């Protein structure tokens, strides 16, 4: 029988790095709202919970439309993340450790987690929201399913969370930073806001990141990009120039500078910049884009004539 | 049967129109977005527009096949980044769909019950 148990659950132990939290750590976000789920709709319910806790006037019905997949009787992680962006929030996937989870709770943010309540071979995937940890009692408090306050032993929670690959996300306001920051993941999350057209949120988030890392070129690029995409060509221009002055050659910044100039009707300057970028050819992956930009500038110049 | 076929046809038509229209152009043509800058350098070239539209079309069709209303598909596609669309295009079936669905029978049930009693799982609590 023990062999069978082992086979079924693949009982690897939980690494200390995942489990460790300071002795006596205790926090519970009592005020986190609760949205009891309907059948199979733990995804939308959990998402509504973290969004509402973050101050969004979130509607469960609307979020069902955004994330529920009837044919799979569930919701995908990717769509939960995508939907959070449409509600002007910055979805951030936390480090998969209890310490990172605790740090978010201490910052006042509940954490949406993916659990597998079954076992690997017979999974029962479930989204819930962690609202509390009590190290002494060895308990985790969740908003889960139809339970407003579900208390689970930490060990059981960790096993179910491990089978969900320790996946957890928070819905940050764009002016908030994660409690435990993985810089690359955080900047990519902001870039995703920009890419999906959440320009206002993106601009706030880039400024927030810029307050922490004023010389980070990705942040400067992001700020200039949100300006360019919002039609603020003058700010965009100065942003790209600042970047080029600091970082030396940057194909992407020069490409976008050329566009910012062209959109101000300064086609000659735009052509000069794009030709410099094409001549340098230091980032082959952007070669086609540069050529497209050159064509675009020519088209714009002809139309303006 | 006829219904299924009609549905398939409608889905195809809607999907083609998804390719042609509704693509949320949020940045000026030619702009290199920050996501593109951050993309794994391993990808030799930036994704072409055609590749991106094909990924959108593919994911859009999968969403419709899985019962998402056609009217909602566009909104859901627009919420995703290119990286996310590509992840779904290539590995849709491997994605976990959290939703508590569970189908078990006989002996499996018994084994699960034992696992539950010894605290390995937490499957039977009403959630």
Given a contact cutoff of 8 angstroms between Cβ atoms, the answer to whether A290 and A277 are in contact is yes
Residue A240 predicted with pLDDT over 60? yes
> Cβ of A65 under 8 Å from any chain B Cβ?
yes
- Alpha carbon distance B31, A226 (integer Å): 11
> Cβ of B90 under 8 Å from any chain A Cβ?
no
Q: What's the whole-number mean pLDDT along residues A6-27?
A: 79
Residue A115's closest chain B neighbor by CA? B98
Cα angle for residues A97, A99, A103 (degrees, 5° grid)? 120
pLDDT of residue B11: 60
pLDDT in tens, A126-173: 999 999 999 999 999 999 999 999 999 999 999 999 999 999 999 999
The string of DSSP letters for A124-157 reads -EEEEEEEEEETTTTEEEEEETTEEEEEEEHHHH
Alpha-helix residue ranges (DSSP H) falling in A33-168: 42-53, 60-67, 77-86, 98-106, 154-162
Residue A76 predicted with pLDDT over 70? yes
Rounded to a whole number of angstroms, the distance from the CA of B89 to the nearest CA of chain A is 12
Interface of B with A in 37-76 (CB under 8 A): 37-38, 41, 43-46, 48, 63, 65-69, 72, 75-76
All residue ranges of chain B with pLDDT < 70 are 1-26, 40-47, 102-107, 126-127
- Residue B1 in tokens: 């049967």
What pTM was estimated for this model as a whole? 0.87
pLDDT in tens, A274-283: 999 999 878 8
How many angstroms separate the first and last alpha carbons of chain B?
A: 37
Q: State residue A148 phi and psi, 5-degree precision.
A: -70, -40
Residue A262's closest chain B neighbor by CA? B28
Residue A61 predicted with pLDDT over 70? yes
Q: DSSP code of A286?
A: G
- Alpha carbon distance B79, B75 (integer Å): 6
Does A221 contact B34 at a Cβ distance shorter than 8 Å?
Answer: yes
Per cent of chain A over pLDDT 90 is: 85
Given a contact cutoff of 8 angstroms between Cβ atoms, the answer to whether A214 and B26 are in contact is no
- Alpha carbon distance B123, A135 (integer Å): 23
- Alpha carbon distance A198, A88 (integer Å): 7
Residue A113 predicted with pLDDT over 60? yes
Given a contact cutoff of 8 angstroms between Cβ atoms, the answer to whether B18 and B61 are in contact is no
Q: CA A70: distance to chain centroid? A: 25
Distances from the Cα of A67 to the Cα of A41, A70, A122, A214, B65, angstroms: 9, 10, 23, 36, 15
ipTM: 0.90
Does A122 contact B24 at a Cβ distance shorter than 8 Å?
Answer: no
Cα angle for residues A262, A264, A266 (degrees, 5° grid)? 55
């Amino acid at each position: 029988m023990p062999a069978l148990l082992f086979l079924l659950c693949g009982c690897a132990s939980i690494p200390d790095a995942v489990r460790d939290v300071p002795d006596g750590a205790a926090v519970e976000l009592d005020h986190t709202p609760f949205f009891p789920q309907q059948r199979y709709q733990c995804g939308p319910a959990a998402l509504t919970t973290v969004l509402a806790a973050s101050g969004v006037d979130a509607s469960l019905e609307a979020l069902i439309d955004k994330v529920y997949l009837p044919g799979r009787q569930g919701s995908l992680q990717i769509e939960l993340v995508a939907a959070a962006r449409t509600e002007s929030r910055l979805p951030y996937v936390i480090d998969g450790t209890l310490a990172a989870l605790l740090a978010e709770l201490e910052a006042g943010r509940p954490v949406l987690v993916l659990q597998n309540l079954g076992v690997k071979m017979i999974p029962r995937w479930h989204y819930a929201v962690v609202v509390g940890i009590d190290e002494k009692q060895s308990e985790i408090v969740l908003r889960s399913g139809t339970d407003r306050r579900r208390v689970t032993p930490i060990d059981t929670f960790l096993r179910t969370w491990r089978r969900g690959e320790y996946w957890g996300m928070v819905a940050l306001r764009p002016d908030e930073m994660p409690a435990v920051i993985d810089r690359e993941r955080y900047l990519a999350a902001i870039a995703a806001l920009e890419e999906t057209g959440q320009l206002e949120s993106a601009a706030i988030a880039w400024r927030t990141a810029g307050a922490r890392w004023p010389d980070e070129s990705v942040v400067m690029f992001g700020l200039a990009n949100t300006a360019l995409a919002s039609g603020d060509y003058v700010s965009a221009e100065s942003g790209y120039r600042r970047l080029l002055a600091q970082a030396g050659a940057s194909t992407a910044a020069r490409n976008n500078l050329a566009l910012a100039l062209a959109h101000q009707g300064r086609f000659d300057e735009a052509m000069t910049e794009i030709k410099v970028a094409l001549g340098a050819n230091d980032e082959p992956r952007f070669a086609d884009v540069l050529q497209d930009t050159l064509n675009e500038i020519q088209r714009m110049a002809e139309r303006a004539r | 049967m006829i219904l299924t076929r009609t549905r398939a046809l409608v889905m195809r038509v809607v999907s083609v129109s998804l390719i042609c229209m509704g693509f949320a152009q949020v940045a000026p043509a030619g702009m290199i977005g920050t996501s593109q800058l951050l993309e794994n350098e391993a990808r030799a070239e930036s994704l072409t527009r055609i590749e991106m539209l094909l990924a959108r079309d593919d994911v859009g069709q999968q969403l419709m096949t899985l019962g998402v209303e056609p009217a909602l598909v566009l909104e859901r596609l627009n919420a995703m980044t290119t990286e996310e669309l590509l992840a779904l295009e290539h590995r849709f079936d491997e994605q976990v769909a959290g939703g508590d669905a569970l189908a078990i029978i006989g002996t499996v049930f018994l084994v699960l019950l034992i696992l539950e009693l010894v605290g390995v799982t937490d499957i039977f609590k009403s959630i």
